[in-house]
Structure 1
């Protein structure tokens, strides 16, 4: 099992669909090339961005395999296997190990809310045990799972119970809690930041790596942010974060992931739209979004191949 901690950007990948809603896996290869060329150092597959919970188990296996094949060992591939059925989550984890993924990650179940630490521990232990040779990252995203478990307490307790627990994908906004997670066991865990619009604060708190949706389109902006922060050019770093927030605010005026897929289409990556219960953009919304994107500074400067059609 790898013990190498992450650094830099990990793109939370999108799942491509045809117009009829079926998987369009031929789009994966060109997208992976774009992600690597733009500076991403890892891929996080079938998470919230990738609509993992909206796919069948078989589809999730197909998507994971497509990304592992396209990456071809050049960057690590993390497969998110969380499911309301623990049996299905275990099946997905075992498949990820079988196809050569580099790590497995999982949310907790979300229909029956997990608000008991012992229950969460047993749940995650069961999922992680299905891929024992891979590092396991717990995916903490309470806004979607509804779990009220104290994550610091959970990570402290889980280390001895889950042999391959290696890290945490922290998608929340509590920088003080994130810092506590980083400090558990003198830095025992690979704690990865998950809120794009707060990267600068996370860097100041100690983040070394981040997983996010907008790294699909403006990774160079974030790389300049990181470079500026490391060089103590704080005003420059603030400007780069401001540019990212500007894009996120524009996209947030619409169903976010469908808006991101429209931006990907403009960049030449036709990933279709999102599955229900997320809705797609209307034709009017798509036109409005295209117009607004023309004034987003980080796109004008760094994503020069966006088509204005």
Structure 2
């Protein structure tokens, strides 16, 4: 089992956010996921530069049952083993379900877990957030990646509660998706001595987030262009920010479209876009699962044109 302090070090790199392929009838597509995982590995992701999160928000965790998420972890581990540290997504409105997933992950080879704090009702009292993570932290030995997602939680996790949470020895990372870039810089200053703060907006904010002191960045874009995500990290990690920016800018047409679709349909729409483009890139995005709906024919045509502009196809 990977120790929490080891996970903290591995979060100094790319945190790959994996999509979950489904079949047209909604069943999990194991063969498609195997193709997706090998696409990431062949694109340059490895245990020296990345970790991989499975069954997270972009992996459509909200549309899966607990047993299915357990099964997917076992399948992923059987497919890639120790090639990349595996972080099990444990998002749930029920802390006991998060604990169940975390304990299963601990028993089946995962290197850590990631969890949102309560998100059904906005946690207006920071004690709600603290209590959730406190119980999770006390019921697993795995390293925990906190997940602050304003779009889902309807609250930007306060720095005051983060300073309390960093005292748990197995809370070693944070996926920071704050809408306020200044707040991200303050989080690094306040908890970065004990917690690896990861830029939760991915390549969209690179290499600017490097200057804020984040240890690395999440990447959903690696499902399309893993080699470019790796190249951005390689440049960022050596301080060559101009090169990192140059590579990142090759994906501006995609980023523009993702921002447009996010405004139209939120994260669901962006997931549908990611999965369609992953298919075009030679990986396997597969079908979406309700409540996500597939792109229309007109949207697919728009996305295909963007894929050409970005050199994805």
Q: TM-score range by the shorter chain?
A: 0.7 to 0.9
CA RMSD of aligned residues (A): 2.0
In the other structure, the counterpart of 2:264 is none
Are 2:217 and 1:215 aligned?
A: no
Cα distance in 2, alignment partners of residues 273 and 245 from structure 1: 25
Which of residues 165, 176, 184 in structure 1 aligns to 2:190?
A: 184
CA displacement, residues 181-207 of structure 1 (integer Å, 9 cap, x when unaligned): 223356111111111200211011122
In the other structure, the counterpart of 2:54 is 45
Kindly indicate whether the alpha-carbon contact (under 8 Å) linking 1:9 and 1:215 is maintained by their aligned counterparts in 2.
no
In the other structure, the counterpart of 2:282 is 268
Structure 2: gaps (5+ residues): 262-268
Kindly indicate whether the alpha-carbon contact (under 8 Å) linking 1:9 and 1:39 is maintained by their aligned counterparts in 2.
no
Per the alignment, do residues 117 and 45 of structure 1 end up closer, same or farther by CA in structure 2, a change over 3 Å counting?
A: same
Cα distance in 2, alignment partners of residues 157 and 163 from structure 1: 12
In the other structure, the counterpart of 2:94 is 85
In the other structure, the counterpart of 2:5 is 3
CA displacement, residues 112-142 of structure 1 (integer Å, 9 cap, x when unaligned): 22121222111111123332x2101111111
In the other structure, the counterpart of 2:28 is 23
In the other structure, the counterpart of 1:165 is 171
Cα distance in 1, alignment partners of residues 287 and 195 from structure 2: 35
Further displaced range: 184-193 or 227-236: 227-236
Further displaced range: 250-259 or 110-119: 250-259
Cα distance in 2, alignment partners of residues 19 and 57 from structure 1: 21
Kindly indicate whether the alpha-carbon contact (under 8 Å) linking 1:52 and 1:60 is maintained by their aligned counterparts in 2.
yes
Kindly indicate whether the alpha-carbon contact (under 8 Å) linking 1:250 and 1:293 is maintained by their aligned counterparts in 2.
no
Cα distance in 1, alignment partners of residues 245 and 57 from structure 2: 27
Comparing both chains, which one has the higher relative contact order based on Cα–Cα distances under 8 Å and sequence gaps of 6 or more? 2
TM-score between the two structures when normalised by the length of structure 1: 0.88
Cα distance in 1, alignment partners of residues 31 and 224 from structure 2: 19
Cα distance in 2, alignment partners of residues 7 and 163 from structure 1: 18
How far does residue 281 in structure 1 lie from its aligned partner after superposition?
A: 1.0
How far does residue 253 in structure 1 lie from its aligned partner after superposition?
A: 4.1
